[in-house]
C-alpha cells in the first residue's frame, strides 16, 4: 500500500460509526407542486405560447432547423422565394406610395375570407394584409422537409 492510500485508510478508521438503533432524523416536508409565483409565470407564458410548452416549441424549432440544415436543396427554394417576395413587396409599396392603385400582389387563397372587406384595399391596411399573406412562404418553408411531419 502506498502512502496516500495508507493515510486514507487511517482517516476512514477514525470516522465515528453511524448509529443504527437511534431514530431517523425528522425531515421537513416541503410542499410539492408549483407555488403561486410559478403558476403566475406559467399562466403568462401560456398566453404567449398558446398553451404549448416553451420547451416543446424550442425542441420543435431545433428539430426543424436540424432537418432543414441537412437539405441544401430545400434551403435554396425558400431563400429564392424570400428574395423574390421581398422584391415584389418593395415594388408594391413603392407603387402604392406613388399613387398608383394596383391590385394585390399576393392573392389570398379562395377559402380565405378575412380580407374581403373593401377597407383592406386602402392605405395603410393594404400593406398590412399583403405583408400578412407572406405566411404562405412560411408554410412552404416548414413543410416537405425529410424527417419532419
84 vs 106: CA distance, rounded Å: 12
- Whole-model pTM over 0.85: no
- Residue 137: predicted pLDDT: 81
Q: In this structure, are residues 123 and 102 in contact, taking their beta carbons and an 8 Å threshold? A: no
- Residue 114: predicted pLDDT: 86
Q: In this structure, are residues 74 and 57 in contact, taking their beta carbons and an 8 Å threshold? A: no
- Quote the strand ranges of the chain, DSSP E: none
Start-end of H helices in 16-53: 36-49
Mean pLDDT per 10-residue interval, the chain, length 149 residues:
63 67 65 84 87 88 86 82 87 82 77 85 82 80 76
- Residue 48: predicted pLDDT: 85
C-alpha cell at 65: 432547423
Amino acid at each position: 500500500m502506498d502512502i496516500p492510500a495508507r493515510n486514507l485508510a487511517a482517516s476512514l478508521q477514525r470516522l465515528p460509526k453511524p448509529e443504527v438503533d437511534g431514530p431517523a432524523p425528522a425531515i421537513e416536508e416541503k410542499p410539492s407542486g408549483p407555488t403561486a409565483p410559478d403558476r403566475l409565470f406559467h399562466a403568462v407564458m401560456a398566453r404567449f405560447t398558446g398553451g404549448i410548452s416553451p420547451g416543446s416549441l424550442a425542441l420543435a424549432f431545433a428539430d426543424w432547423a436540424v432537418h432543414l440544415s441537412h437539405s441544401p436543396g430545400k434551403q435554396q427554394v425558400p431563400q429564392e422565394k424570400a428574395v423574390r417576395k421581398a422584391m415584389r413587396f418593395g415594388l408594391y409599396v413603392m407603387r402604392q406610395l406613388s399613387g398608383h392603385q394596383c391590385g394585390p400582389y399576393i392573392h389570398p387563397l379562395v377559402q380565405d375570407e378575412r380580407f374581403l372587406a373593401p377597407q383592406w384595399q386602402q392605405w395603410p391596411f393594404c400593406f398590412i394584409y399583403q405583408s400578412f399573406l407572406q405566411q404562405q412562404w412560411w408554410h412552404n418553408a416548414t413543410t416537405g422537409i425529410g424527417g419532419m411531419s
